[in-house]
Chain A
Amino acid sequence: MLFNTFAFIVFLVIVLGAYYALAHRWQNRMLLAVSYFFYACWDWRFLSLLAASTIVDYCVSHALYRSTVPARRKAYLLVSIIINLGVLCVFKYLGFFVESMNGLLASFGFGPLSAPLQVILPVGISFYTFQTMGYTIDVYRRQQKPESRFVNFALYVSYFPQLVAGPIERARNLLPRICDKRIVTAEQIGTGIQLMLMGYLKKVAIADAVAPYVERIFADPSSQSSLQLLLGLYLFAIQIYGDFSGYSDIARGVSRLFGIELMINFKQPYLSANITEFWRRWHISLSTWLRDYLYIPLGGNRKGTLNTYRNLMLTMLIGGLWHGASWTFVIWGGLHGVYLSLHKFYTGDRKVTASHPGLPTWGAAVRWLACVIVTFHLVCLTWLFFRTPSFELAWTYLAGLTHGTTACELRLLAVVGFYVLLMLIIDIPCWVRNNELPITARTPWYVAGIAQAAAVILLSFIGEGHVAEFIYFQF
């Protein structure tokens, strides 16, 4: 069941109606049931995986908490990690591994290891696996008390607004909100609906609207001019941001209607002045997860400069692989690792602060703008590997970019201009006010009214008849 379908809206209205009527304990039971129903709408066969992951981590976390023997605790943790990563590897990486091994063996003149495998990827597996692993690691570190009520824990793992594409919630954020009695205020409902509206606007009116142009350009890069290829990259940057941040906004908005606050996953990433800042604003739940459970345990920046670079590279390579079982994703992660290392080299031990409005002089503003443009283009270069399914196509695209041909459909320029403008209209007010929504309580009512109406009208104008899946569901 996709967020951008009428069926979901009906489902949400029914669930909300029941939710507001029920007592807290029953609310959680109902939410758990509807979350499983929501997941079953994708593929009921993989409910068992979700349930198994929940049961394993529930049992392991309690065993971990009770045990005081370090070796035994490590063993428990290992059991959880092996089971979680094992399932993830089988469903997500086995086919890729077999394919890569076959290629390697073929290059040495050997026969294939096995026939290519076609394994169906259970939707959201990467997200809930990381979420449960994070919980178990927190319990192991004694940063989190295990949840005693199974229903609450199961709901933490499977809570439907964030089940299939995040945000990857931390137990210390989400579990208390699940366990505590909730109150939903009129303001929460208002901002929740506004968040949903913004999410739908990003997804339906922006990401889905630019998708056909992206599809056309990436399908045959050799027939496009350099300028069109560059515009194609811009459009994909808009598409993936609109798609994923739109999903996160809808998830947060829906969750807020239940009185459960989810973490912010995107903070206007394309307005970052450097790559480090970009990763503090892009897919925040994943980047902080990788930081806390991978980069810091590897040593972070505490074990010398070279080790810091190594840790950055490893973290980003694994982050790339998390996105998909393909070498192009590894390159994507690797490029980001290189960018981060270079930026670390440039900044040294200086603390990198997020850029924010109120730039003191025109000179500073121009410098900031130049940095934003450079960072955006560096990120766009990595999106090339993210979007293309093979190296051959990526190289063709790269080569085409360097040809320097400028023939361009005027319409494509207009499309890029229009959607960039639309994205900026949404993002700039959020960025200036450091707010999740472009409309705040201080916004004059007539501005808010017209902006909301414009969003609704735009949605119905630009929104396509067909329903497109969210890009991040494939991860």
Chain B
Amino acid sequence: MWRSSSIFSFDTLTSTSRITRSFLLTLAVCAACRLWFYAASDHLDHIPAPAIPQRYIQLEQVLIRDATKKPKIVLMGNSLTRYGLLEDQIAQAAGLQSGEVVNLAIEASRAWDARVLMTRNPEFFEDVQIVTYNIELYQILQPFVDERLPYFYRFSTPWEKLKADRLEDRAKLMLDWLWPYHSERRSLVAWWLGWQGDPDYVKAAGLRDAWKPKQMAKKLARKRSTQARRRERSDEVAPWDGRATSSHEVAISALHQQILKEFIAHWQQLGVRLLLIRTPHSDAYCKEYERNNCAHRDRQIRFDAMLEALCDKNTVYLHWERGSEIGLDYETDFMDDWHLTPKGAQKLTAVVIDAVQERRWLPLENVTSNDLQIVSTR
């Protein structure tokens, strides 16, 4: 035993704290509040959270919640759709009014995000007849999935969160849901009190930030420096001799592959026409990539084959490797190796419109949401 003269005496605390009734009540109220959040989780999932980059909230707010019309044509996918397909040009070709074609692309997204968007806003998609989805191999590659969780995971329901394919992700998402480190709970209060959103918060023009003159100038400057580097490298590196230079096998995320298939199957079941598009990259980039990464090319071929196998009479997969295949000029039509300038987007949109017209998908049939319901029941 310690003596009173020694280092330890344990005599500072005269009595341990009593568990008072008020303390118990505090605990009970806090627990009840948390339980209420549990019960209201679906409700919470519909609240834009400030932690999500604003443009995604804008997207949902401006294009879906504030929309006065239900769209007939929906353009989904990633930034290549946002900066590649022009909704107004398609609307004009289809004889539709503005607002009946919407661009719901989410930067660096995948089928999961598109699906969550659909799950969260089912009524919005009731009259859709054509969906374009911008599809890229990266969307199902495990390293990319590891890098960051899909944006709309934050919006997903607990059950969707539990579907994440790795235990670590499931744990992370559930922990975030139980005790969010972003301001989800504050959003609830702010939303109720009507404080959500600055005047600039929902500006549709902001959805194509990169086409603003200042941003565009930056992008083009970066493109020029990439070009210069590429020129230097091409002097040093010998042309590709056809052998694989990188045999590194990249894992495919089974979950995201499955979700992609589910996404396609969803529209097929509804009888909605689905146009899967892989937009072309710049010629210089393709050349460089092929030279340096043969394994990627093999994966891409397998990926293309998988998608083609999923196609039916209402589903088409359009894919191009290089911009030159559809007359895109690197100098004037590309902002970088992947994203297009407004001029390039016009060209790509025209090509897509031609492809759709060729299949006699345009003009649209006069189908109502009820008809679609019948189709889906069948």
Q: Could you tell me which A residues sit within 8 Å of B by CB distance?
A: 19-24, 26-27, 182-186, 189-190, 259, 409, 411, 414-415, 418, 445-446, 448-450, 452-454, 456-457, 460-465
Contacts and interface: CB of A to CB of B under 8 A. Distances in A.
B9 A24 contact: yes
B193 interface: yes
B4 A23 contact: yes
A273 B69 CA distance: 59
Contacts of A19: 12
Interface string B14-42: 11111011111111111001000000000
B159 interface: no
Contacts of A182: 12
A259 B13 CA distance: 9
Given A414-B193, A448-B22, A449-B24, A464 B183 contact: yes
A411 B11 CA distance: 54
Contacts of B12: 19-20, 22, 27, 182-184, 259
Taking each of A186, A449, A462, which has the highest tally of chain B beta carbons within 10 Å of its own beta carbon? A449
B29 to A, nearest CB: 3
A462 B189 contact: yes
B21 A445 contact: yes
Contact of B26 (A21, A409, A414, A452): A452
B189 A186 contact: no
Q: What is the interface of chain A mostly: helix, strand, loop, or mixed?
A: helix
A446 B7 contact: no
Contacts of B28: 449, 453
Of all A-B residue pairs in the complex, the 6 with the closest CB atoms, nearest first, are A449-B25, A453-B29, A448-B22, A23-B9, A449-B22, A452-B26
B25 A462 contact: no
11 contacts: A20-B10, A22-B9, A23-B7, A26-B8, A27-B12, A414-B193, A445-B22, A449-B25, A453-B29, A453-B33, A454-B29
For chain B, give the interface size range. 35 or more
B6 A23 contact: yes
B186 interface: yes
Nearest to A455: B26
Contacts of A27: 12
Interface string B241-255: 000000000000000
Nearest to B32: A453
A409 B195 CA distance: 10
A446 B15 contact: no
Contacts of A415: 195
A450 B18 contact: no
A20 B16 CA distance: 11
A77 B185 CA distance: 56
Contact of B8 (A22, A184, A464, A465): A22
Nearest to A21: B8
Interface of B: 4-18, 20-30, 33, 51, 181-183, 185-186, 188-189, 193-195, 199
A453 B21 CA distance: 13
Contacts of B5: 23
Given A22-B12, A446-B22, 12 more contacts: A19-B12, A183-B14, A184-B13, A184-B14, A186-B16, A189-B17, A190-B20, A445-B22, A450-B26, A452-B22, A452-B23, A465-B182
Chain B contact residues: over half helix, strand or loop, or mixed? Answer: loop
B9 A462 contact: no
Contacts of A411: 194-195
Contacts of B181: 465
A454 B22 CA distance: 12
B25 A446 contact: yes
A453 B25 contact: yes
A459 to B, nearest CB: 10
Given A23-B6, A24-B9, A183-B14, A450 B195 contact: no
Given A445-B20, A446-B25, A465-B181, A457 B33 contact: yes
A445 B18 CA distance: 14
Nearest to B20: A445
A28 B16 CA distance: 22
Given A21-B8, A27-B12, A449-B24, A190 B29 contact: no
Nearest to B18: A186
Contact of B17 (A24, A186, A414, A456): A186
B10 to A, nearest CB: 6
Contacts of B186: 461-464
A20 B25 contact: no
Contacts of A456: 26, 30
A454 B30 CA distance: 8
A457 B29 contact: yes
B16 to A, nearest CB: 7
Contacts of A186: 14-18
B15 A465 contact: no
A460 B185 contact: yes
Contacts of B21: 445-446, 449
A414 B195 contact: yes
A214 to B, nearest CB: 16
A5 B186 CA distance: 19
A62 B30 CA distance: 54
B195 A453 contact: no
Contacts of A457: 29-30, 33
Contact of A453 (B6, B30, B188): B30
A461 B29 contact: no
A418 B16 CA distance: 38
A27 B9 CA distance: 10
A456 B25 CA distance: 12
A418 B183 CA distance: 18
Nearest to A259: B12
A412 to B, nearest CB: 10
Given A183-B14, A465-B183, A26 B25 contact: no
A449 B29 contact: yes
Nearest to B185: A461
Nearest to A183: B14
Contacts of B195: 411, 414-415
Contacts of A450: 25-26, 29
A334 B106 CA distance: 56
Nearest to A457: B33
B187 to A, nearest CB: 9
A174 B18 CA distance: 28
B8 to A, nearest CB: 5
Nearest to B24: A449
B332 to A, nearest CB: 39
Nearest to B7: A26
B182 to A, nearest CB: 6
Contacts of A26: 7-8
Contacts of B6: 23
Contacts of A21: 8-10
A409 B29 CA distance: 34
Given A20-B12, A21-B10, A449 B23 contact: yes
Contacts of A185: 14-15
A446 B25 CA distance: 7
Contacts of B51: 465
B195 to A, nearest CB: 5
Nearest to B189: A461
B8 A23 contact: yes
A445 B11 CA distance: 30
B50 to A, nearest CB: 9
Contacts of A462: 186, 189
